[in-house]
Amino acid sequence: MPGSFTQVDGCGKAPLNTKIVGGEDAVPGSWPWQEVQLPIVSNSDCANTYGAGSITSNMLCAGFTQGGKDSCQGDSGGPLVSTSSGAWTQAGIVSFGKGCALPNFPGVYTRVSQYQDWIYSTIKSTSSTSGSTIQLLSFSIISFLFLLYIFL
């Protein structure tokens, strides 16, 4: 829902002049685990920023109009999660954006709910298989979603 807050977790780059977990100043390079809370942006507002036809129903956007906080390079494939009544739900997968934390350019995420039926049917069809097969299938689903966001 637009305006509600989500959380993105990852080990990607942080915008310059920001503080990261542990308090170090952000500079280019590899990072420790980080998290940021971002508001959901409506698909229509996001499409106005990125251009007509660029944002589909398979995507969702999150970020601040003024910029300053965002997912960034190295976070791709990571989770965008929300919480309701104490339960965490993965709402998105980090996909792309224009730069990192730029004003008026929210991050774009794969909308996991668009693939929910496929995920459930795939898991259900393997529920009678061994644990190692289910682990492999779970890895395959995550890999598929990761590749999907690359080619969106």
pLDDT tens-digit profile, the chain (152 residues): 777 889 998 878 776 555 544 444 444 554 577 889 999 999 999 999 999 999 999 999 999 999 999 998 888 999 999 988 888 889 999 999 999 999 999 999 999 999 999 888 888 876 655 555 555 555 556 666 655 555 55
Q: CA–CA separation, 134 vs 41, rounded Å?
A: 35
Strand partners, 87: 84
Q: To which CATH superfamily is domain 5-114 assigned?
A: Trypsin-like serine proteases (2.40.10.10)
User: What residues does each domain of the chain span?
Assistant: 5-114
Neighbouring residues of 104: CB distance < 8 A, sequence distance ≥ 6: 49, 65, 67
Angle, vertex CA 18, rays to CA 108 and CA 27, nearest 5: 95
Q: What is the pLDDT of residue 18?
A: 54
For residue 49, CA distances in Å to 11, 44, 52, 140 come to: 26, 9, 9, 33
Q: What is the pLDDT of residue 27?
A: 46
Contact 73, 92 (CB under 8 A): no
